[in-house]
Amino acid sequence: QVQLVESGGGLVQAGGSLRLSCTASGRTFSSYAMGWFRQAPGKEREFVAAISWPGGNTYYADSVRGRFTISRDNAKNTVYLQMNSLKPEDTAVYYCARGRTPLPATIATRYDYWGQGTQVTVSS
């Protein structure tokens, strides 16, 4: 059993910033890529960002590249998503997930454990 817990969501005005955190339980963080996905009302879950194990190789969706930064602190079993220059279209529930391998992936089926999600709302 792997447990992932997200935090840091909330309400922010357009142009503002938020930092999301995701902490994994036990020793399950080691050797796995980590990713962030989001789902807006009425839309499919979409890829946001991913980072390799132990770090350094990252991928971003075109919609967030240049504004969002994914990082990880392996000693703390934690992955972060720094979100800057937020737009109303970024409004969604954000989920962190553990990859099946050390390589970052952009599709949800390459991840095996998921957090419960944290709400991000960006007002205009």
Question: pLDDT tens digits, residue range 75-94?
Answer: 999 999 999 999 999 999 99
- For the chain, which ranges sit under pLDDT 50? none
Tell me which amino acid residue 39 is.
Q
- Assign residue 8 a region (left: φ > 0; alpha: ψ between -120 and 50; beta: otherwise): left
pLDDT for the residue numbered 1: 75
Radius of gyration of the chain from its Cα atoms, rounded to whole angstroms: 13
Sign of CA dihedral 58, 71, 23, 37: negative
What pLDDT does residue 28 have? Answer: 63
